[in-house]
Structure 1
Amino acid sequence: MMKIDILSLFPEMFEGVLNTSILGKAAEKGAVSFKVTNFRDFTTNKHNKVDDYPFGGGAGMVLMPQPLFDAVDAVRKEENAKPRIILTSPQGKPFKQQDAEMLSKESSLIFICGHYEGFDERVPEHLVTDEYSIGDFVMTGGELAAMSMIDSIVRLLPGVLGNDTSAVTDSFSTGLLEHPHYTRPADFRGMKVPDILLSGNHEKIAEWRLRESLRRTYERRPDLLIDLELSEQEKKWLNQFECESEEKH
């Protein structure tokens, strides 16, 4: 079972998320356990302050190292393990599907959610093992980022999803965006499902899905194709998409 600890100044933000949908079901199945800790409980000053003014001046308040180091020490002692310690930060490297897959193989994770202007530099430099960002924008705190990463990790644990092949074919898992999906009715207000999906020819359907996955990636996220190794057939399709795009313009 994976153990996920979350250190936050606002633990109540996680109550609904961790007990609902896939995350809640994963906990019920025993695939994962969650514990949210308010690291303010580890302050040693009489006012329970977790932040202070930055040395050298400047706007905003900075989270002090002591409460976070002590909170992590307490979690480590309780779990008797060496968990990966993840800091949510706009300065971290972009969090990708490959990171979720890698972290899903760990037995213990600690997420640190920041607030205010940022962390004392000794936290990312000496305490954490991984620093991630979920996008080039800044939020009030790291809670929502941690929720997003936890969701992407837990859904990859064995037995969590009803269909274990679902995660394998997700967007980014293969390097491409996922192909389009259709369901009943086959004709909705004149908008029809592609005939190939109704043919029952599984080989042709698989080919169509791969081609459309490549097309969608080319149209929406061409940056993903830069370092991707393509087959000869995929290169032919890509050339076809490029020609079609030039004709439209």
Structure 2
Amino acid sequence: MRVDVLTLFPEMFDGVFHSSILGKAQEKGIVSLNAVNFRDYAGNKHSTVDDTPYGGGGGMVLKAEPIFRAVEDLLGKTEESSEELPTVSSGSGESVIEPTQRAPRIILMCPQGEPFSQRKAEELAGEEHLIFICGHYEGYDERIREHLVTDELSIGDYVLTGGELPAMVMIDSVTRLLPGVLGNEMSAVTDSFSTGLLEYPHYTRPVEFRGWKVPDILLSGHHANVADWRRKEALRRTWLRRPDLLNSLELTSQDAKWLKEFETERNN
């Protein structure tokens, strides 16, 4: 997978892209992570990428030109590396990308966007090329939304000074799902939200710590019983902490019995 990030502060990504899991994923050749300063595409003497909003109001608005130019340049480089990947349209049409099944996802970091989720991370992990756009100032020229991006994503109902931190969160979440990135491939499969439930409790050595013992069933060596215990505890944790997730979960008959058991325990 190739990931490009358009940002005014590429140095913010240096440590993130070259450390821990992301750094190892790059070393293995599983993912290519690249931060691009879109001020280089300003096209004016003072490298200005923002301007005052039409109609008045506070703050500055990110201009369309440098973002479009940066994306077109990235797509041009992609075209040179593979004829199967998308080409760039000329002129001033509605989109800079010609229709193709392998077009990159161009993702705008925006508090107005779709809430980012594990399901979205899994969807994006199936792509070959992601381009993240990190804004600053008051907002974006609306033509960026209308004619360039494919997705608008948010990590929560709050406002940050820029899109860099949300982009880092999403890139980390997506990259760890790529085959070969994690040492144990089952780690991603059993993560919270991947199964529709919060993850079950984990324990490791020692068996007893300050009087608190590991549940006996985890020491039994009976894999089927351990699997049942983990499912039950994942269900219990979800029921206690995020009951809203159960609304979209397809429950088994055993799940339903356990939920009734939890209710009975709480009422007694």
* Fold shared, TM-score > 0.5 on shorter chain: yes
Counterpart of 1:59, as a letter, is G
Instruction: Indicate whether 1:66 and 2:65 are aligned.
Output: yes
Which residue in the other structure is 2:130 paired with? 109
- C-alpha distance in 2 between matches for 1:102 and 1:69: 25
Which residue in the other structure is 1:137 paired with? 158
- C-alpha distance in 2 between matches for 1:116 and 1:130: 20
Structure 1 segments, 4+ long, off by >4 Å, are: none
Which residue in the other structure is 1:7 paired with? 6
- Candidates 209, 213, 222, aligned match of 1:188: 209
Equivalent pairs, count = 246
Counterpart of 1:176, as a letter, is L
1:171 partner SS: coil
Deviation at 1:137, TM superposition (A): 1.0
- C-alpha distance in 2 between matches for 1:245 and 1:48: 62
- C-alpha distance in 1 between matches for 2:203 and 2:51: 54
- C-alpha distance in 1 between matches for 2:139 and 2:77: 27
- C-alpha distance in 1 between matches for 2:192 and 2:176: 14
CA RMSD of aligned residues (A): 0.8
- C-alpha distance in 2 between matches for 1:182 and 1:26: 27
- C-alpha distance in 1 between matches for 2:259 and 2:173: 29
Deviation per CA, 1:117-150, whole angstroms, max 9, x where unpaired?
1101111111000110011111110000000000
- C-alpha distance in 2 between matches for 1:109 and 1:189: 48
- C-alpha distance in 1 between matches for 2:169 and 2:212: 34
Gaps of 5+ in 1: none
- C-alpha distance in 2 between matches for 1:27 and 1:66: 31
Counterparts in 2 of 1:37-76, with a 5 A limit?
37-76=36-75
1:207 partner SS: helix
State, as a whole percentage, how many aligned pairs show the same letter: 65
Deviation per CA, 1:88-133, whole angstroms, max 9, x where unpaired?
1100001111111111111111010011111011111110001100
TM-score (norm 2): 0.90
Instruction: Indicate whether 1:235 and 2:234 are aligned.
Output: no
2:233 partner SS: helix
- C-alpha distance in 2 between matches for 1:90 and 1:245: 38
Deviation at 1:231, TM superposition (A): 0.4
Which residue in the other structure is 1:225 paired with? 246
Gaps of 5+ in 2: 80-84, 86-102
Instruction: Indicate whether 1:214 and 2:228 are aligned.
Output: no
Counterpart of 2:104, as a letter, is P
Deviation at 1:243, TM superposition (A): 2.4
- C-alpha distance in 2 between matches for 1:83 and 1:46: 31
